[in-house]
Structure 1
Amino acid sequence: MTIAARAEMLADQLVAPLGRRWSHVQAVAARAREVAAAVSEDEVETLVAAAWLHDIGYSDQIGHTRFHPLDGARFLRAQGWPAAIVNLVAHHSGARFEAEERGMSGELGEFPFVDSPVLDALVLADLTTGPSGERLSYDERIFEILQRYPESDPVHRTWIKAAPILKEAVERAELRIATASS
Structure 2
Amino acid sequence: MAALIEDAARLAEQFVSPLGRRWLHVQAVAARAEELAGAVRPAQVEHLIAAAWLHDIGYAAEIGLTKFHPLDGARHLRDLGWPADVVNLVAHHSGARFEAAERGMSEQLDEFPFADNPVLDALVTADLTTGPGGERFTYDERIAEILKRYPVADPVHRTWVKAAPVLKEAVRRTMERLAESQPR
Shorter-chain TM-score: what band?
Answer: over 0.9
Mapping 1:59-138, distance limit 5 Å: 59-138=60-139
How many residue pairs match? The answer is: 182
1:45 partner letter: E
Give the Cα–Cα distance (whole angstroms) in 2 for the partners of residues 158 and 2 of structure 1. Answer: 35
Task: Determine helix, strand or coil for the equivalent of 1:11.
Answer: helix
**Alignment partner of 1:119: what SS?**
helix
Q: Tell me which amino acid in the other structure corresponds to 1:91.
A: H
In the aligned structure 2, how far is the partner of 1:53 from the partner of 1:164? 25
Give the Cα–Cα distance (whole angstroms) in 2 for the partners of residues 9 and 147 of structure 1.
32
- Amino acid of the structure 1 residue aligned with 2:121: D
Partner of 2:59: 58
1:28 aligns with 29
Cα deviations by residue, 1:69-91 (Å, 9 ceiling, x for unpaired): 00000000000000000000000
Residue aligning to 2:149:
148
The aligned counterpart of 2:10 is 9
Where in structure 2 are the equivalents of 1:42-53 lying within 5 Å?
Answer: 42-53=43-54
Cα offset, 1:58, TM superposition: 0.1
Return the TM-score normalized by structure 1. 0.99
When the two chains are superposed, the root-mean-square deviation of aligned CA atoms in Å is 0.6
2:144 and 2:152 mapped to 1: Cα distance?
13
Instruction: Report the CA distance between 1:61 and its aligned residue.
Output: 1.0
The TM-score with structure 2 as length reference comes to 0.98
CA distance in 1, matches of 2:3, 2:175: 26
Q: Which amino acid aligns with 1:65?
A: T
Task: Tell me how far apart the structure 1 counterparts of residues 164 and 88 of structure 2 sit (CA, whole Å).
Answer: 20
User: Would you identify which runs of 4 or more consecutive aligned residues in structure 1 move more than 2 Å?
Assistant: none
Unaligned runs of 5+ in 2: none
SS state of the match for residue 76, structure 1? helix
Give CA deviations for 1:16-70 in whole Å, capped at 9, x if unaligned. 0000000000000000000100101111110000000000000001000000000
Residue 178 of structure 1: CA displacement? 0.4
State the secondary structure of the residue aligned to 2:136. Answer: coil
Unaligned runs of 5+ in 1: none
SS of aligned partner of 2:47: helix
Q: CA deviation at 1:2?
A: 1.4
